[in-house]
Amino acid sequence: MGGHLAVVDLLLRQNAPVNCKDNHGNTPLWYSTSSYHDDVTERLLTENDVDVNTVGGGGRYDEPSTSLHHLARRTDTVVLRWFLARPTLDPSICAGFQSPLRLGITEGNIAVVRLLLTHKELEMNARYTLGDSPLCLATERGDVDAVK
């Protein structure tokens, strides 16, 4: 993948701050999940103090999101499982007017929805004040699998 992992590994060995942010509030973990660099994501998750809850996407073209939001858009659940195993993960953070659960429902990713529902800290109805709850959204869309 273009040597991204080698560069990240080198920088971390030189004690580069794992949670550094760019001008838009995006961290290396946010970038690795948004750009599908799963090897880099896996490496960053080995750092004990990596912040898995950072809300980034403050740039001109990005909606606010967390790494978990990026993973809720994907059909592959391998990296999502890595995140759900992190004890500091807050699976209910709303960003860009939706929670990861709501985003999984919107994307039609039932495997993601089922996996998110296994997290003991998930607030099933987490939402911004302007948005419907995930259950309301699934019901409105007629998504029987998500409602179940």
Per-domain boundaries in the chain? 4-147
What 8-state DSSP symbol labels residue 78? H
In the three-class reduction of DSSP (H, G, I as helix; E, B as strand; rest coil), residue 147 is classed as helix
- Burial (0-12, 13-18, 19+ Cβ within 10 Å), 138: buried
Domain 4-147: CATH class, spelled out: mainly alpha
Which of these ranges, 3-7, 90-94, 130-134, has the smallest mean pLDDT? 130-134
Calculate the average pLDDT of the chain: 87
Q: What is the pTM of this model?
A: 0.85
Alpha helices in 1-148 (DSSP H): 4-13, 28-34, 38-44, 67-72, 78-84, 100-107, 110-117, 134-141, 144-147
Q: Give residue-wise pLDDT tens across range 14-73.
A: 999 999 999 989 999 999 999 999 999 999 999 999 999 999 987 767 789 999 999 999
What is the Cα 29 distance to its own chain's centre? Answer: 10
Cβ neighbors of 82 (< 8 A, separation 6 or more) are 41, 42, 45
Confidence of residue 74 (pLDDT cuts 50, 70, 90): very high
**What is the predicted pLDDT for the residue at 11?**
94
pLDDT at 97: 79
